[in-house]
Amino acid sequence: MAGANGSAAAEAAARRVGAPTNPMATALLTDQYQFSMAYAYWKASKHADRAVFDLYFRKNPFGGEFTVFAGLEECIKFIANFKFTEDDILFLQSVMPMCEDAFFDYLRKTDCSDVEVYSIPEGSVVFPKVPLMRVEGPVAVVQLLETPFVNLINYASLVTTNAARHRHVAGKSKVLLEFGLRRAQGPDGAISASKYCFMGGFDATSNVLAGNLFGIPLRGTHSHAYVSSYMSLDEIPDKSLKSKDGSRVCKDFVSLVKEWLQKIQLADSLCGVFGETNQSELAAFASYALAFPTNFLALVDTYDVMRSGIPNFCAVALALHDLGYKASGIRLDSGDLAYLSIEARKVFRTLEKEFNVPAFGKMIITASNDLNEETIDALNKQGHEVDSFGIGTYLVTCYSQAALGCVFKLVEINSRPRIKLSEDVAKCHDGFQVSIPCKKRCFRLYGKEGYPLVDIMMRESEPSPKAGERILCRHPFLESKRAYVVPQHVEELLQCYWPGTSNKPRVELPSLEEIRGRCMQQLEKLRPDHIRRLNPTPYKVSVSAKLYEFIHSLWLNEAPVGELQ
């Protein structure tokens, strides 16, 4: 509960940090039971008890062994702006008529000025069980943050990881375009997808609003509708085009295109493979080139890629070349992408030689039909000539695993450690459903070759691991799994992003470009067998000997003793 000073500090913080991207990310964006609990805490005078919650996940997504952490910036913006308007209060009163008025007065004064948030930096590679964030503060307030934080982290981390996996399978040299706007969960599902796919290694998006909000580069070409909206070349009213250097004007670009089409059809090196092409398509391409002569990119599969799309495109591209322009390339959106890209490349190379057009063979080929990790991998195995992949549905919906199971668990209250057990005994045994109690510090230990070796969680009171000093790393639940590690380098994982009323130094939120850079760098630093698609090696996550003993004593203490009858 913040006093007058708290509020002023909170307002200053909100100004500094900025508003959440989505204006709907307000203090009402939570589960109803969080308010019920807040009331129950308040009623029991327990609302200001100092609680520590860990936000973590239990299993890497997509059958992989790594996850990229994302969503931190939106969480910090959320708490910086966390407060209840009078309208919010009226609504809450209407749905919780059994609550005393004084509780709503308490909510009116509530903000996040005495909450502390420690987090792994956004864009980091992270692993199961290790807290991504530790949130401390009055139990009633931190409880209200559970749902929005999990909401803001879950999809963000899932889709960033998905993007990173697509980048990994496509390879560094390919251009990756996010085309997911029409398949995401509504407007800001799409906007989040664009932001986090860029973070995970994509180069551009088709989503104009995301480009506007985050400065992500925009890309795209026309659609099939554009091609089929034309009937014939007569529909182009102004056929003139100035040459690139401005020195001359071609009065009839359309005739030039027709001449080139004839030359292609008669070219010796192509042995007459091209017959008659679709004239509506040719008109659409010519008209698009007149609008974008510096940037001509055509979708070539509206009628028939090899019989119509490719020769029509080449005729327009060669006509542009006559005027000093360089066409960008084509997009394939259906059919056998491996075969068609190879055939298209052959034609481009043949025409480069036949008509002596430098770099014509290197034209960009973009592919975009329901692509995902598997289809890109299959294309790679078959061989293809695609330079750029446009990926939508499978990327933004995270089709192969549509949710990451982030949880937010109480690990300490009023300095007393807490644990959550589970009804599922099997899950308890490998620790799957058991939370790791205590306020913890977490470290990543690096080996001689620069790779991270293991993450270790320790009790807050323990001394930090030191480079060159041997330390015992234990599996958190399995007694026999343990190893001594002598780290070459030690990195503390949780950093202070929201100091609350503590005097801890605050880490500034980095830019999206910086976060993207961190993500790329962290993935490169990871041992390749953790990241490979097939049978990746699990990265080790451990606890200190002291924390191990503590967890297990608490576990025995809390779990009921069975009775055999």
219 Cβ partners below 8 Å, 6+ apart? 177, 203, 204, 205, 206
Calpha distance 420→212 (Å, rounded): 44
The answer to whether 265 contacts its own copies (rule: CB under 8 A) is no
Closer by beta carbon to its own copies, 283 or else 456 = 283
Residues 312-331 within binding reach of its own copies (CB under 8 A): none
The Cα 501–Cα 336 span in angstroms is: 60
**Size of residue set near its own copies by CB under 8 A:** 122
3-class DSSP state of 51: strand
**CA contacts within 13 A on the Cβ side of 25:** 26
225 lies in the binding site for its own copies (CB under 8 A):
yes
Min. distance of Cβ 229 from its own copies in angstroms? 5
Under the criterion CB under 8 A, does residue 243 sit at the interface with its own copies? no
- Closer of 399 and 448 to its own copies (Cβ): 399
Binding mask 102-131 for its own copies (x = CB under 8 A): ------------------------------
Least Å distance, CB 224 to its own copies, is: 5
Query: Is residue 36 a contact point for its own copies (CB under 8 A)?
Result: yes
Scanning the structure block, which residue is given the tokens 């973590």?
56
Q: Three-state SS for 79?
A: helix
212 makes contact with its own copies (CB under 8 A): yes
Q: How far is the CB of 192 from its own copies (least distance, A)?
A: 4
Q: Does 291 bind its own copies (CB under 8 A)?
A: yes
User: Which residue carries 């509506």 as its tokens?
Assistant: 280
Residue 379 to residue 385: CA distance in whole angstroms:
9
Interactions with its own copies, residue window 465-524 (CB under 8 A): none
Q: Tell me how far, at minimum, the Cβ of 22 lies from its own copies, in Å.
A: 5
d(CA 345, CA 275): 19
Query: Which of 18-26, 479-487, 488-496, 541-549 is the region at the interface with its own copies (rule: CB under 8 A)?
Result: 18-26
> Exposure of 524 by Cβ count < 10 A (0-12 exposed, 13-18 middle, 19+ buried)?
exposed
Distance CA 360, CA 116 (A): 58
Kindly tell me which residue out of 245, 268, 479, 563 binds its own copies, with binding defined by CB under 8 A: 563
**365 near its own copies, judged by CB under 8 A:** no
Residue 41 in contact with its own copies, rule: CB under 8 A: yes
Nearest distance, CB of residue 464 and its own copies, angstroms: 28
Instruction: Kindly tell me which residue out of 60, 119, 278, 542 binds its own copies, with binding defined by CB under 8 A.
Output: 278
CB 287, CB 319: distance < 8 Å: no
CB nearer to its own copies: pick between 4 and 291: 291
Closest by Cα among 104, 96, 112, 113 to 145: 112
Q: Does 307 bind its own copies (CB under 8 A)?
A: yes
Provide the sign of the torsion angle of the four alpha carbons 88, 89, 90, 95, taken in this order.
positive
DSSP 349-408: HHHHHHTT-TTGGG-EEEE-SS--HHHHHHHHHH-----EEEE-HHHHTTTT------EE
Q: Which among 140, 139, 11 is positioned nearest to 79, based on CA atoms?
A: 11
Among 192, 341, 375, 544, binds its own copies (CB under 8 A): 192
Q: In whole angstroms, what is the distance from residue 48 CA to residue 143 CA?
A: 11
Nearer to its own copies, 120 or 305 (CB): 305
- Among positions 405-464, residues that touch its own copies (CB under 8 A) are 405-406, 408-410, 413, 416, 418-424, 433
Interface with its own copies includes 134 (CB under 8 A)? no
Residue 155 in the binding site for its own copies (CB under 8 A): yes
Neighbour count for residue 68 (Cβ, 10 Å) = 28
Contact 221, 299 (CB under 8 A): yes
Q: Assess 252 for contact with its own copies (CB under 8 A).
A: no
Residue 228 or 380: the one with the smaller Cβ distance to its own copies is: 228
| 372 is a site residue for its own copies (CB under 8 A) | no
Binding of its own copies at residue 190 (CB under 8 A)? yes
- Of the candidates 333, 366, 367, the one whose C-alpha atom is nearest the C-alpha of residue 224 is 333
Residue 560 in the binding site for its own copies (CB under 8 A): yes
> Going residue by residue from 59 to 98, which x/- string records binding to its own copies, judged by CB under 8 A?
-----------------------------x--xx--x--x
Name the one range near its own copies by CB under 8 A: 229-237, 352-360, 378-386, 479-487.
229-237
In this chain, which stretch among 59-67, 108-116, 283-291, 318-326 interacts with its own copies, using CB under 8 A? 283-291
Among 116-124, 204-212, 314-322, 490-498, the segment contacting its own copies (CB under 8 A): 204-212
Tally of CB atoms within 10 A around 387:
17
Site for its own copies in 169-188 (CB under 8 A): 179, 181-188
Closer residue to its own copies (CB): 81 or 542: 81
Q: Report CA dihedral (538, 379, 189, 206) to the nearest 10 degrees.
A: 140
